[in-house]
Amino acid sequence: MDCVFCDLIAADSAQWVAKEQTAVAFAPLPGSEIAAGHTLVVPRRHCDLGVLDVGPDDLAATTELVRQVARAMVDALGASGVCVLNASGPDSGRSIDHLHFHVVPRFPGDGDDTLPWPTGRSTHQPAGDPRALLAAALVSKG
């Protein structure tokens, strides 16, 4: 398996923000930051499909670290908010096949032009009401 995040973790070579037992946080590659303080949070254990195949304990630990990083952005950087971004699965636009969350601090005056969010809309329409299909799928899991 060739995974840049697994390699960074194994080599202990990232610009670390936090290293926890189950998840880590680090700065993205220089020049790829959306804002000062932009941080990537990933589980130590590899999962190809992101939130689609991560174990519940790894997901809980990773999202808790996301929350802590977001809170630190407000407290230490003076951010007035954060954007948490994730793309999971083959057609999601992800660039690395390992669960990761971008935690991006937002500041007054950033404006929508710096908002990291997809700008296009999908034309795919499922057979049936999407909300009803989702609700039924979730009920069947319970």
Tokens 């939130």 belong to residue: 51
Q: Is 100 a catalytic residue?
A: yes
Strand blocks (E) in the chain: 16-19, 23-26, 39-43, 81-85, 101-106
Closest CA to 81 of 60, 118, 109, 117: 109
Rounded Cα distance, 74 and 33, in Å: 17
Choose the catalytic residue: 46, 100, 102, 124. Answer: 100
The residues assigned a catalytic role are 100
